Amino acid sequence: MGLAPRNLRSAIAVFMAIEIMVVAMVFGMVLLIFPDPWAVMHLCVISGLVISAPVVGLLLAMLRHQSILQDKLAELATTDMLTGLPNRRAFLRAVAPEGQFVRAGLLVLADADHFKKINDTYGHDVGDACLRAIAGVLRLSLSDKDIVARYGGEEFALFYDGASLSHLEALEREICGPISVGAASEGIASPEGLIVTLSAGAFPIDAGQQSIDAYREADRALYRAKMEGRARLVAARPGSTFLSA
């Protein structure tokens, strides 16, 4: 959709370019067809512009509408609608588009603690509020080069560009909780003072590392964090050892 205008300025520029082409085509045809082209040139050019202008305008409007729909579909395909975070597909495309990480950093998988109990006790509306609250806190832990996504269910994936295991303690304080759930402000009935915590597993990444192996290691560390009591960050290190924050 190279002709689809992105804004009013580009729409005017495309419109003018097409109309100039129309004038040039009319000019050439009049020179070829009429024995005395200059006698009718102005009339033919004006007629061409009058006929083409609404057609070109309608075409550009249709292209713009189609472009907006395509942008919306692309957003729906890569965004989690509940939290507004990128989804799993967008996360993998950003950090490991070919199945390998393109940058070094720290991969973190985080999971909401006792989330099934929250859903069963208070209902899915409160569970959704918990996920939105978690998403808001995780966003605050990011720099411009980092990314967080809702990986599925109550699990989130984060990639901290250039970070290492030395950042574990700071990350644990930022992302593991307790996180206050402001369900009341969303018009949802929930107990006052409801909080949620996260268990997280981390794994240091080298550029070029296979994503499937890294996710397996981070998930193993996440399981270890759950077993050690939850609400904490544990890192899996090469060599099958663990490091707590």
Identify the weakest region by mean pLDDT among 93-97, 142-146, 190-194.
Answer: 190-194
Query: How far, in Å, CA of 193 to CA of 180, rounded?
Result: 7
How far apart CA 93 and CA 164 sit, in angstroms, is 22
HSE-up (13 A, CA, CB side) for residue 53? 7
* CA distances from residue 150 to 100, 126, 144, 155, 157 in whole angstroms, order as listed: 20, 17, 18, 6, 6
Region of 22 on the Ramachandran plot (φ > 0 left; ψ -120 to 50 alpha; else beta): alpha
- Which residues neighbour 31 within 8 Å (Cβ) at sequence distance 6 or greater? 37
Q: What are the φ/ψ torsions at residue 101 (nearest 5 degrees)?
A: -70, 135
Residue 225 has pLDDT above 80, yes or no: yes
Which is more confidently placed, 190 or 177?
177
pLDDT at site 27: 84
Instruction: Please give the pLDDT value at position 184.
Output: 47
Q: What is the total residue count of the chain? A: 245
Instruction: Check whether 9 has a pLDDT greater than 80.
Output: no
User: How confident is the model at residue 62, as a pLDDT?
Assistant: 78
The pLDDT-based confidence of 113 (bands split at 50, 70, 90) is very high
pLDDT recorded at residue 91:
95
Q: Where does the pLDDT of residue 74 fall: very low under 50, low under 70, confident under 90, or very high at 90 and above?
A: low
Q: Please, what sign has the CA dihedral across residues 36, 42, 43, 49?
A: positive
Distances (CA, A) of 45 to 20, 34, 98: 10, 13, 54
Across residues 219-228, what is the average pLDDT?
A: 96
Tell me what pLDDT residue 40 has. 84
Q: Which residue has the higher pLDDT, 88 or 75?
A: 88
Bridge partners (DSSP) of residue 54 are: none
Residue with tokens 């904490």: 232
In the residue annotation, 155 being an active-site residue is answered as no
Of 98, 154, 169, 174, catalytic: 154
Q: What is the pLDDT of residues 131-184, one digit of tens each?
A: 999 999 999 999 999 999 999 899 999 999 999 999 999 999 999 989 988 654
- pLDDT tens-digit map of 14-69: 778 888 888 889 888 888 888 888 888 888 888 888 888 888 778 777 777 776 67
**Residues in Cβ contact with 120 at an 8 Å cutoff, skipping those fewer than 6 apart:** none
Task: Tell me the Ramachandran region of residue 165: left when phi exceeds 0, alpha when psi lies from -120 to 50, beta otherwise.
Answer: alpha
